[in-house]
Amino acid sequence: MGIRTSARIEGIPHYEPGLTMAEVMDSYGLESVVKLASNESPFPPLPEVKAVIDEGLEGLNRYPDGAARALREAIAERHAVDMSQVSIGNGSCELIVHAGVALLDPGTTIIYATPSFAMYPHLAAEAGAEAIEVPLAADGGHDLHAMAAAVDERTRLIIICNPNNPTGVYRSADEIEAFLDLIPDDLAVLVDEAYYDFVGAPDRGRVSVMARTRPNLLVTRTFSKAFGLCGLRVGYGIGSQSWTAALDAVRQPFNTNQLAQVAALESLKHPAAIQARVDEAISERERVSSALREMGVPFTPSHGNFILMEPPGPGTDARALHEDLLRRGVIVRSGAALGCPGTLRVTIGAPSENDAFLSALGAAAGITAPAA
Ligand SMILES: Cc1ncc(COP(=O)(O)O)c(C=O)c1O
């Protein structure tokens, strides 16, 4: 006999993490694999970041600063906001989940796009609220007009993923601003900018400037992608004080661990080194995109560190191609697990990993990959 649980947990979708490298090596008898399935950074932490993590080990018998003051101060300075407008989370995922806990009740609704980041459906299910899932526009970006039209008096929270995961499509700051102008000032909007650093548009960052003064706006960012610290779990939000107070009310007192705090703070002190890594990811994304184009592989042009692609040629099955790539030692994410059946999502890795992907794809699909 098991324990009695809330009826709500029945409705919570199971988050399907990508296959681990060890699982794939074991299953296919491989000695090495390339993992391009979780939108991670191919770079290890900067040496200076490793050094502060090492130093921090000594103090792990103490609780961390529950208010993450030093990190919040640095982020506040970077965004020209008061510290009271910064929330720190155990990954930006935690802030997103906390937004659901703090804002949703049974009888209320949350609006987000589909397909988008797999965590969003959890929020309504956990709170017993209703999820209004608005299909993406034909270009793979948010249909902001349809999202605005879905707002009614029950709506408590709207999430916009920009650029969108898994399509990589970006909506401009003007489009987001026009959307915000259409909805009530007291209706909470969370713009998830996990992939902000990889955006190749001149207006990137302007939505976070809006979050300085818009009463209903929270922009979330993460140290998981461009900063390469996903294993430590740290993200942040910039928004109005009513947003940060709501998130603060529902978090546990020591939600961000000590090593994550010092590592994130140190990372912010090396913008040139981080930017060099981001520049490489962007130039690799463009190189992989050109190669896919040359190979006749349909894909959605991306502003993230990943690309959503379809199998080349009619009749090629995405599941079969996914499996074939695994057999060849390349792990990508099956689009079926992301709400995009018939597609695969590949993360942009180091140049050698991207080459391994392109040549495995060429071999699996019977086409020649362009020379590296
Ligand atoms: C759109 C989006 N938001 C948030 C996250 C979560 O990031 P974090 O590691 O900060 O929790 C991800 C992770 O893949 C993501 O794709």
Ligand 1 atom at shortest distance from the alpha carbon of 224: 9
Structural domain boundaries of the chain? 7-44+272-365, 47-269
Domain 7-44+272-365: give its CATH code.
3.90.1150.10
d(CA 251, CA 101): 10
Location of structure tokens 């042009």: 301
Instruction: Give yes or no for residue 141 having a pLDDT over 70.
Output: yes
142: pLDDT strictly greater than 90: yes
pLDDT reported for residue 368: 74
Q: How many CA atoms lie within 13 A of 225 on its CB side?
A: 29
* CB of 196 sitting under 6 A from ligand 1: no
Asked if pLDDT for residue 161 goes beyond 70, the answer is yes
pLDDT for 15 equals: 76
Give the atom of ligand 1 at the shortest distance from the alpha carbon of 90.
11
Q: Is the pLDDT of residue 69 over 70?
A: yes
What mean pLDDT is reported for the chain? Answer: 96
Our answer on whether the CB atom of 91 is closer than 6 Å to any ligand 1 atom is yes
C-beta atoms surrounding 144 within 10 Å: 20
Residue 13 has pLDDT above 90, yes or no: no
Residue percentage of the chain with pLDDT more than 90: 91
**pLDDT tens string 326-352:** 999 999 999 999 999 999 999 999 999
Q: What is the mean pLDDT of residues 58-86?
A: 98
Is the pLDDT score of 366 beyond 90?
A: no
As a whole number, mean pLDDT of residues 66-89 equals 98
- pLDDT for 19 equals 79
Q: Is any atom of ligand 1 closer than 6 Å to the C-beta of 118?
A: no
* Res 194 pLDDT > 80: yes
The answer to whether residue 18 scores a pLDDT higher than 80 is: no
pLDDT of amino acid 17: 75
Q: Where does the pLDDT of residue 372 fall: very low under 50, low under 70, confident under 90, or very high at 90 and above?
A: low
Which residue lies with its CA nearest to atom 6 of ligand 1?
Answer: 93
Of 3-7, 81-85, 161-165, 193-197, minimum mean pLDDT range:
3-7
For residue 232, pLDDT over 80 is answered with yes
> Is the model's pLDDT at 216 over the cut of 90?
yes
Residue 11 pLDDT:
84
Residues 269-314 pLDDT 10s: 999 999 999 999 999 999 999 999 999 999 999 999 999 999 987 7
- Tell me if 18 CB under 6 Å of ligand 1: no
For the cut 90, the answer to whether the pLDDT of residue 7 exceeds it is no
Residues 98-108 have pLDDT tens digits of: 999 999 999 99
- Looking at domain 47-269, which of 3.40.640.10, 3.10.20.30, 1.10.260.40, 3.40.50.620 is its CATH number? 3.40.640.10
Q: Evaluate: CB of 224 within 6 angstroms of ligand 1.
A: yes
